[in-house]
């Protein structure tokens, strides 16, 4: 037998191995998912026992009124309720400001942690230890109660009694501000660890090179280290933003009517608890979906220079798949092209 292919053998068709087990598993899963979707969008007899009766040919027949298992019609009617809309807007604002505080402060804490100054590393270590070590719910309640501990905040001589600026804590720390402060300071503790991992992931040679062309430490940080650290920082930060979006619901407990607070308030008066929770879920899911898509593109931007070729975007991949399918189809049926 010859090991080289003859003229005829070179054009032989390749038959891929069929993975029957894999195919079976996929089918079972598909049926399961289909059943689940069916129950979610199915109708059941009215839970209040409502019946509808008609008279046909002088005989009265009654049957229970059917309604959506998940009360989708109620969900639909409250989806754009003004109270829900205001709550959603407030949720987005709290998320934004808390993340802004968390990222800015977290970056400072990470840099302090990496500095050569023992006092700085000590302070940043303590900060992370404290804020990561206590429940964020309690921290929110604590900031809400701050005016009880510090009725006025003053700016003046340290430890002295003279001050030129007095602020009344009650007016400054409204529930909203207290909530944002608590979430932001808590986030800073987590983000500082993410930022630290990013900063130390950048090769020391990059710092040497930047220094050798005369960049100051601050320029080196802004123009060389941070842009490269972003590649490591972005994915877990996307996680943090999504997590924050949902954690904001905790500030409902101190009377801020954000999304969860809003649906709570409505269901407290009409007792349609489940559909209103679904209203909130729909909005949370929509927001996290948009954030995930945004994260994909931000990650892609900061990955430039780290891979020889950029991975395709989902749209490019879809186009590629369709193209490949087209070629396969054309190849399988050469008759068509004739």
Partner 1 sequence: MSDTMVEARGVTKAYGALQVLKGLDLEVRKGEVTCLIGPSGSGKSTFLRCINHLEQHDSGVLRVDGELVGYELRNHKLYERSAKQICQQRANIGMVFQRFNLFQHLNVLENITIGQEKVKGTNEAAAQQRARELLARVGLESKEKSYPVQLSGGQQQRVAIARALAMEPKLMLFDEPTSALDPELVGEVLDVMRDLARSGMTMIVVTHEMGFAREVANSVYFLDQGVIEESGEPEQVLGDPRSPRLRSFLSKVL
| Residue 54, beta-bridge partner list | 61
Q: Does 201 interact with partner 1 (rule: CB under 8 A)?
A: no
Residue 161 lies near partner 1 (rule: CB under 8 A): no
Q: What is the DSSP string of 208-225?
A: HHHHHTT--HHHIIIIII
Give me the helix-helix angle, 82-114 and 259-270, nearest 10°: 150
Best CA proximity match to 191, nearest among 107, 95, 96? 107
Rank residues 294 and 305 by Cβ distance to partner 1 and give the closer one: 305
The region that residue 27 occupies, defined by phi over 0 for left and psi between -120 and 50 for alpha, beta otherwise, is alpha
Q: Considering beta carbons, is residue 38 or 116 the nearer one to partner 1?
A: 116
C-alpha separations of 15 from 12, 18, 22 in Å:
9, 9, 17
Ramachandran category for residue 230: left, alpha or beta (phi over 0 → left; psi -120 to 50 → alpha): alpha
Nearer of residues 149 and 213 to partner 1, judged by Cβ: 213
* Contact track, partner 1, 72-111, x by CB under 8 A: ----------------------------------------
The one among 51, 208, 292, 317 contacting partner 1 by CB under 8 A: 208
- Smallest gap, in angstroms, from Cβ of residue 307 to partner 1? 7
The H or E element containing residue 67 is: strand 66-68
**Smallest distance, partner 1 to C-beta of residue 234, A:** 13
Copy the structure tokens of residue 314: 């989902």
Q: Report if residue 206 touches partner 1, rule: CB under 8 A.
A: yes
- # residues near partner 1 by CB under 8 A: 24
- Out of 214, 314, 332, 338, which residue is the one contacting partner 1 (CB under 8 A)? 214
Q: How far is the CB of 305 from partner 1 (least distance, A)?
A: 4
**CB neighbour list of residue 97: distance below 8 Å, 6 or more residues apart:** 180, 184
Straight-line distance from the first to the last Cα atom of the chain, in angstroms, rounded to the nearest whole number: 38
Q: 3-state class of 63 per DSSP? A: strand
Task: Identify which of residues 82 and 214 has a Cβ nearer to partner 1 in the complex.
Answer: 214
User: Which residue in 223, 281, 290, 322 binds partner 1 (CB under 8 A)?
Assistant: 223
Could you tell me if 235 and 310 are in contact, meaning their C-beta atoms sit under 8 angstroms apart?
Answer: no
Contact set for partner 1, span 301-320 (CB under 8 A): 302, 304-308
Contact flag: residue 169 with partner 1 (CB under 8 A): no
- Of the two residues 68 and 302, which places its CB atom closer to partner 1 in the complex? 302
Q: Which is nearer to partner 1, 82 or 205 (CB)?
A: 205
Residue from the set 21, 205, 314, 334 that interacts with partner 1 by CB under 8 A: 205
Candidates 124, 186, 192, 228; binder of partner 1 (CB under 8 A) is 228
Q: How far is the CB of 314 from partner 1 (least distance, A)?
A: 23
Assign residue 105 a region (left: φ > 0; alpha: ψ between -120 and 50; beta: otherwise). Answer: alpha
Contact positions toward partner 1, by CB under 8 A? 203, 205-206, 208-217, 219, 223-224, 227-228, 302, 304-308
């Amino acid at each position: 037998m010859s090991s080289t292919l003859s003229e005829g053998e070179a054009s032989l068709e390749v038959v891929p191995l069929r993975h029957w087990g894999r195919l079976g598993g996929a089918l079972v899963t598909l049926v399961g998912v289909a059943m689940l979707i069916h129950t979610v969008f199915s109708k059941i007899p009215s839970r209040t026992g409502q019946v509808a009766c008609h008279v046909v040919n002088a005989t009265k027949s009654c049957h229970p009124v059917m309604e959506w298992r998940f009360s989708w019609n109620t969900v639909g009617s409250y989806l754009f309720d003004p109270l829900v809309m205001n709550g959603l807007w407030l949720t987005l604002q709290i998320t934004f400001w808390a993340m802004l505080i968390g990222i800015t402060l977290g970056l400072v804490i990470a840099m302090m942690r990496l500095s050569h100054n023992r006092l700085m590393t000590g302070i940043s270590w303590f900060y992370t230890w404290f804020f990561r070590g206590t429940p964020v719910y309690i921290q929110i309640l604590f900031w809400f109660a701050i005016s009880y501990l510090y009725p006025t905040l003053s700016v003046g001589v340290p430890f002295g009694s003279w001050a030129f600026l007095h602020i009344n804590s009650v007016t400054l720390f409204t529930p909203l501000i207290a909530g944002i402060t608590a979430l932001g300071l808590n986030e800073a503790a987590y983000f500082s660890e993410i930022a630290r991992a990013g900063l130390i992931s950048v090769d020391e040679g990059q710092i040497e090179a930047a220094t050798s062309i005369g960049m100051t430490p601050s320029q080196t940080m802004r123009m060389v280290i941070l842009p490269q650290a972003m590649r490591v920082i972005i994915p877990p930060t996307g996680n943090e933003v999504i997590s924050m979006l949902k954690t904001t619901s905790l500030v409902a407990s101190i009377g801020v009517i954000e999304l969860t607070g809003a649906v709570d308030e409505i269901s407290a008066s009409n007792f349609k608890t489940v559909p209103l929770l679904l209203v909130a879920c729909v909005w949370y899911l929509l927001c996290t979906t948009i954030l995930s898509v945004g994260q994909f593109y931000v990650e892609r931007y900061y990955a430039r220079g780290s891979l020889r070729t950029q991975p395709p975007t989902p749209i490019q991949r879809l186009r590629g798949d369709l193209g490949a399918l087209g070629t396969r189809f054309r190849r399988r049926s050469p008759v068509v092209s004739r």
